[in-house]
Amino acid sequence: MGTDDMTDPRAVGIGIVGAGFLAETRARCYGRIGAARLTAVTSLTAERAQAYAARHGVPAVCKDLDELLAREDVQIVDLCVPNLLHRPMAVAAAAAGKHVVCTKPLTAYVGQDLKADATDEEIGGVDKGRMLEVAVADAQAMVDAADAAGVQLMYGENWIYAPSIVRAAGLLKKSGGAVLEMHGWECHSGSHSEYSKVWRHTGGGALIRLAAHPIGAMLQLKAPCRPVSVTAEVGDLSKVAAATGADMHLATGWKDVENWGVAIITFDDGSRGVAHGSDNLIGGMQSKLRIRASNCTFECNLSPHDLVRAYAPSADVFGDAYIMEKIEGGAGWTTPLPDEDWSAGHADMCSDFVAAVLEGRPALATGALGLDVTRVVYGAYVSAAEGRRYDL
């Protein structure tokens, strides 16, 4: 049963806010769940919402968020919207008695404490310590709003649901070993969206867009241990002198955000985690986590993995067939991912969110995790700006 089945009385109604790339992923994943159905969608433009509804069999297109929140057949509101909308929409949804799914990052600093006519330069130039205060306060407000309304705020971090990481976590628990260090990274050739290159739209660069994934996974794996400090470096490596004017296959034109960042997290038991985000990788996307424990080691490959390997002498052999995210072409050896929604954890994440609502239990990825990730990411920005370890 998928989104076209309207007969299951237990089916959880999902209201989608947004109709872009992430909303497409959500539609595929919810469509695999027997106890879920997409009941309504709203987007910035009616045309995009209507096209989304037609593609995925969504029965209701709402003119705005208020109309979607007023529907009795919506129990979960899934926010697939830009960072600046996360807090106001999550608070509104919670006040309406809806459970909330919010993609990562839970919140970001995008100048929400400045005047509406603040320039890009003014927003990007705000002291990083102030950014941390505002972003963390927004995240806390979202958590508090959900708690006050008696609904769940679920954090859309797919990494902790990835089968490779779930399997490693299970074996780690069985081993009784102590995690000593973790290394995680997400890297690709960079977003070509101009919005991703300006702080006012994203609240940061590679650290918040990419490294937030391994940071979330590490915090989850180390719980109940807590992060106590973070040390970080950031930079725009597309501006390296030797790369200027060279044959460039990477995204360029970053304005006031980094396209490379590394954060070293220290936990209260003395262990370490190293999270890396980079827009300087040619050849597809890499999403990987390595765990080194006292009596075992794990290497978790979300992307790429080698369930399928393929060879083609030229790019036209496979035509326009999808291989994997961010791959530049199908020539040579490639790793066509057979089910990216599953291997990246998106499918099981959506399944857990629906089950959590049905069973009246917390989801694995909660707003509290998103709050912690926000604190670590912006602590990393403070560290990089001030050249020192930042105590969390």
Q: State the CATH number of the domain containing residue 29.
A: 3.40.50.720
Do 208 and 274 lie in one domain? The reply is yes
Whether 225 maps to a domain, the answer reads yes
Whether 71 maps to a domain, the answer reads yes
Do 200 and 300 lie in one domain? The reply is yes
Token reading at 365 = 């990825």
Whether 249 maps to a domain, the answer reads yes
CATH number at residue 199: 3.30.360.10
**Under DSSP, is residue 4 helix (H, G, I), strand (E, B) or coil?**
coil
How confident is the model at residue 3, as a pLDDT? Answer: 39
Lowest-confidence segment of 9-23, 199-213, 356-370 by average pLDDT: 9-23
Question: What would the mean pLDDT of 22-34 be, rounded to a whole number?
Answer: 96
Whether 361 maps to a domain, the answer reads no
How confident is the model at residue 6, as a pLDDT? Answer: 43
Whether 255 maps to a domain, the answer reads yes
Q: What is the pLDDT of residues 36-74, one digit of tens each?
A: 999 999 999 999 999 999 999 999 999 999 999 999 999
Residue 390 phi, psi dihedral angles, 5° rounding: -105, 125
Question: What would the mean pLDDT of 323-339 be, rounded to a whole number?
Answer: 85
Do 119 and 192 lie in one domain? The reply is no
Kindly tell me if the per-residue pLDDT of 377 is higher than 60: yes
Do 84 and 212 lie in one domain? The reply is no
Kindly tell me if the per-residue pLDDT of 19 is higher than 70: yes
Do 124 and 176 lie in one domain? The reply is no
CA distance 139 to 136: 5
Do 185 and 330 lie in one domain? The reply is yes
Q: What is the pLDDT of residues 276-287, one digit of tens each?
A: 999 999 988 999
How confident is the model at residue 175, as a pLDDT? Answer: 97
Do 35 and 177 lie in one domain? The reply is no
Whether 44 maps to a domain, the answer reads yes
How confident is the model at residue 9, as a pLDDT? Answer: 63
CA atoms within 13 A on the CB side of 264: 10
The strand pair at 153-156 and 272-278 is best described as unpaired
Site of tokens 């990477």? 250
Do 110 and 185 lie in one domain? The reply is no
Host domain of residue 64: 12-157
Question: What would the mean pLDDT of 82-90 be, rounded to a whole number?
Answer: 95
With a pLDDT cut of 90, the percent of the chain lying above it is 84
CA distances from 67 to 64, 78, 159 (A): 6, 15, 32
Beta bridge partners of 12: 36
Greater pLDDT, 196 or 241: 196
The strand pair at 272-278 and 310-312 is best described as unpaired
